[in-house]
Structure formats: structure tokens, C-alpha cells
């Protein structure tokens, strides 16, 4: 069963910035889907719509088979972990973790028990009386994760949860997220720019470009043979440790996608090394693959060149 199902979800901001354009995909129970793509392509907008912080202009978001139209964030059975921790500086670790339970008006003893239990899961049980200013970056992110888990969500959304951390701490947090996924039976939706993180954690990958999901696939297949030219360029951009090979040529040129000036046809065509005439004027439609889909004229069944 799908934890989350998106059906042609759209968001356009008042200044004309296309946040998300007709995003459609499913996230099955227990999956860890990672969104990748350039900054400003709509990843965070998409996450915030699923969480309920932003209303879509069109399309539908269903969670557990139920449409979320008009459903408040606190009633979506989803928790969110932010890049910047988003902790309350005047509250102790215990108070920060307990905050989502206050609206439920549970007995104090029950709240304290749940805080102790979840704090032990994330190795914070000895730090409950401290304040955020007294913690390291990794410890603050553990507090944010504990606060997300304490309400017993069906799904956890993570917006680049390790990008603000030292490299030495990132793997600890990522391994913790993986362990918690198994222990609590969680479904994850995560944003990351680090392809090593994606390959290590994800069960599925969705590639986003200028508001559109242009490819979605199982992780192993994506890393072995990405179908969309932008996905292929992302993998090419990973620096190789082999001496003498230098910086790889992604063939993307110097241009950068502008969400205020979306190209006609395929949105990626100004930067695509495999561009064809129809790419400049005709927007590609999603084409089903064995484990997902791709939006690219190279795979149009009416065009045998793919």
C-alpha cells in the first residue's frame, strides 16, 4: 500500500516561480525515497506540500489512501526533520522532544515516559536537561529526530538532514535514520544533494528538474543506468578518486535553470547533450519503465531512436 500518493500536484508562486509542475508518484510503506535535483528546482516546495505547510494549486495528495485536501499538518501522520534543527532555544532537550505531545493533553507522567523512551532510541537519555546551545550539531539533529518520532508518525520527511553537520557526524545521523526506519517501520521522503548518501540509503530515487519529476526508479537501477540525461549528468558529476582523470565533463554547460524563465518543450533541453528538434517545442510525457518512469523524448515509443 502507498503511504503517499501524488496525482499531478502543482504549485506556482505569485511571482511566476514554478515550484512544482504536475508531480505524480507513489511512496510505498517502508520505502525511503530520495529527491535529487539542482537548488531551486522545487524539492523543498514538494516536501512542504506533502507535510501540509503549503497548499497545492492543483492536483491531489493522499496519505494512507485519504486525500489531504484541507487536512492540517498535525493531522497528516507525518513528521518533518529540518536542515537547521528548528529547536526552541529556551526549552530543554526534554521540552523540545515533548512539544508535539502538548497539543494532545496527555498526562504529564505519560509524556515523560515517552520522552525518555524516544530519547534512549537516539542516544540522548543523558542530555535531557540540557539546552540546545549546550549541544553539538549532531546532538541537536538527534533532538529534532526524536521530536519527529515522538508522535508516532507513519512517515518522516527530511530536508537535507545532514548538510549542516560535520562530515564526521553525518554518517552517524544517516545510520541512525536507517536504524529507526527498521525499528519503527517508518517510511521516509528525503532531500539530499549527496549522491553517496542517496546510494547508501535510498530504496528509490526521484530526479527533479525545474519543478518536474523527470525520472523515478529503484536505486540500484538508477545508479547502474540512469535514463534521463540530467540523471546521467548528475552521476557523471561525482568526482572520481582515480588519479589523473581530473574533473569529469558533465556536458551541462555554464547555463543554470531559472524557475522564473522556464524553457518551452522539455525543460532540460537548453543543457542537454542529446537534444532533438522536438525537445525544443514539445514537452515529454511520463513513459513507464519496469521500476518507475522517465520524461524524455529519447524513450518515446513513437521515436525508435531511443
Q: Spell out the domain ranges in the chain.
A: 2-77+153-239+248-299, 78-152
Paired residues of 215 in beta bridges: 207, 294
Q: How far apart are CA 142 and CA 264, in angstroms?
A: 44
Kind of pairing between the strands at 2-12 and 286-289: unpaired
Going by C-beta distance under 8 Å and a sequence separation of 6 or more, which residues neighbour residue 113?
none
Helix intervals (H) in the chain: 43-51, 93-102, 108-121, 137-149, 167-184, 195-201, 219-224, 229-236
Per-residue pLDDT of 46-56, as tens digits, reads 999 999 999 99
Per-residue pLDDT of 242-297, as tens digits, reads 555 444 445 665 567 778 889 999 999 999 989 999 999 999 999 998 789 999 99
Most confident by average pLDDT, 76-85, 143-152, 158-167: 143-152
Per-residue pLDDT of 18-49, as tens digits, reads 889 999 999 999 999 999 998 889 999 999 99
End-to-end CA distance of the chain: 33
Going by C-beta distance under 8 Å and a sequence separation of 6 or more, which residues neighbour residue 50?
4, 6, 61, 63, 78, 157, 189
Q: Which CATH superfamily is domain 2-77+153-239+248-299 in?
A: P-loop containing nucleotide triphosphate hydrolases (3.40.50.300)
Per-residue pLDDT of 44-91, as tens digits, reads 999 999 999 999 999 999 999 999 999 999 889 999 998 777 889 999
Q: How many CB atoms lie within 10 A of CB 153?
A: 18
* Residue 38 grid cell: 539542482
**How many Å is the maximal CA-CA distance in the chain?**
67
Q: How far apart are CA 42 and CA 297, in angstroms?
A: 22
Paired residues of 22 in beta bridges: none
Q: Kindly indicate the confidence band of residue 303, based on its pLDDT and cuts at 50, 70 and 90.
A: low
Q: Reply yes or no on whether the pLDDT at 15 is more than 90.
A: no
Q: Reply yes or no on whether the pLDDT at 241 is more than 60.
A: no
Amino acid at each position: 500500500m502507498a503511504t503517499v500518493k501524488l496525482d499531478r500536484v502543482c504549485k506556482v508562486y505569485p511571482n511566476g516561480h514554478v515550484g512544482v509542475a504536475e508531480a505524480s508518484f507513489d511512496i510505498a510503506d517502508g520505502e525511503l525515497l530520495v529527491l535529487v535535483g539542482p537548488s531551486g528546482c522545487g524539492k523543498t516546495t514538494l516536501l512542504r506540500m506533502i507535510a501540509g505547510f503549503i497548499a497545492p494549486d492543483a492536483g491531489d495528495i493522499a496519505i494512507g489512501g485519504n486525500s489531504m485536501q484541507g487536512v492540517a499538518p498535525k493531522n497528516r501522520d507525518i513528521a518533518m526533520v529540518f536542515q537547521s534543527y528548528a529547536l526552541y532555544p529556551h526549552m530543554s532537550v526534554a521540552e523540545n522532544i515533548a512539544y508535539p505531545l502538548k497539543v494532545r493533553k496527555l498526562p504529564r507522567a505519560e509524556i515523560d515516559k515517552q520522552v525518555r523512551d524516544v530519547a534512549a532510541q537516539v542516544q540522548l537519555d543523558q542530555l535531557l536537561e540540557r539546552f540546545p546551545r549546550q549541544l553539538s550539531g549532531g546532538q541537536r539533529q538527534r533532538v529534532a529526530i526524536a521530536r519527529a518520532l515522538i508522535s508516532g508518525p507513519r512517515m518522516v520527511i527530511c530536508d537535507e538532514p545532514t548538510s549542516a553537520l560535520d562530515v564526521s557526524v553525518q554518517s552517524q545521523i544517516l545510520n541512525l535514520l536507517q536504524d529507526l526506519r527498521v525499528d519503527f517501520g517508518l517510511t521516509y521522503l528525503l532531500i539530499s544533494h549527496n549522491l553517496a548518501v542517496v546510494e547508501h540509503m535510498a530504496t528509490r530515487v526521484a530526479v527533479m528538474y525545474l519543478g518536474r519529476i523527470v525520472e523515478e526508479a529503484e536505486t540500484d537501477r538508477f545508479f547502474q543506468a540512469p535514463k534521463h540525461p540530467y540523471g546521467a549528468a548528475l552521476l557523471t558529476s561525482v568526482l572520481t578518486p582515480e588519479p589523473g582523470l581530473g574533473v569529469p565533463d558533465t556536458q551541462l554547460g555554464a547555463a543554470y535553470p531559472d524557475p522564473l524563465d522556464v524553457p518551452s518543450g522539455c525543460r532540460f533541453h537548453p543543457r542537454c547533450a542529446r537534444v532533438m528538434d522536438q525537445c525544443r517545442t514539445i514537452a515529454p510525457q511520463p513513459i513507464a519503465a519496469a521500476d518507475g518512469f522517465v520524461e524524455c523524448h529519447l524513450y518515446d515509443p513513437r521515436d525508435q531512436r531511443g
